[in-house]
Amino acid sequence: MELNTVPPKSLTQVTQAMFELLWGQDRPPVLTAVDQAYEWIWRQQIVTAGKKARRLSDVALAAELHISRTPVRQALDRLAQEGLVQFDPRRGYWTHVFTAQDVKEIYEVREANEVLALRLSGPHLKRADLEGHLKTLREVRASLPNPDIGHFLESDLRLHNLLIHSSGNGRLIRFLAALRSQLALFQVRDTWYPRRIEIALDDHERFLLALLEKDMALAEKLLAEHISHARAGVLADMFPEHESPSG
């Protein structure tokens, strides 16, 4: 299957925008060396993680970032706690290789918790915000079949952030941010596959219209279906030996 392509510079901008949308509200005004190392390694992981484990040398990373090993190790420890890298006391830090079963579990947890967030956010959603997202969605759709992938990914994250942050539940917001940090590994790659953007836009439009009609039961059902479609797409595109598109 031929993939959509994106220039390396644009990919760098995409990962920066994704990081800020996921973690922007929690970032301190002055970043420590640990914060900077964490962001740099996170963004590299989103771009380069694959099906083969790679060793992450704290010595090499410290030299590349021009900082000491201590903040690099602290950043790697944080990434290990979030499931983005693996740590072995004997072998050090390695990239985390996700399996089809990981994808199924992550998307199942996402579906349950994001639908909960939508249920909590319902009374707080403003019509103007929903209409703004619908307008952006239609702008992205108008660019098909040659979309700006960065624009789509940013609009996607902003929409889901609206639903999640409007819940007002701090623990749920932080949990889903960490979960979506793992999801970003799959989302960035799977968006390159033809029709994935079109399918996501169709799903987004349906549940936005349901929200504008104040039909929360339908909106929750459509959001769950959207996440299920995303999971099926990732499995079909990235793990075809394990899952059929309908699975």
Cα(152)–Cα(31) distance, integer angstroms: 28
Identify whether the C-beta of residue 231 lies closer than 8 Å to the C-beta of residue 103.
Answer: yes
Strand, helix or coil for residue 95: strand
Whether pTM exceeds 0.75: yes
Architecture of the CATH domain 100-238 = Up-down Bundle (1.20)
> Which one-letter DSSP state was computed for residue 132?
H
Q: What pLDDT, in 10s, does the model give residues 94-131?
A: 988 889 999 999 999 999 999 999 999 999 999 999 99
Q: What is the pLDDT of residue 83?
A: 85
Domain map (residue ranges) of the chain: 8-95, 100-238
Q: Does the 8-95 domain belong in CATH 1.10.10.10?
A: yes
Q: What pLDDT, in 10s, does the model give residues 130-181?
A: 999 999 999 999 999 888 888 898 899 999 999 999 999 999 998 998 898 8
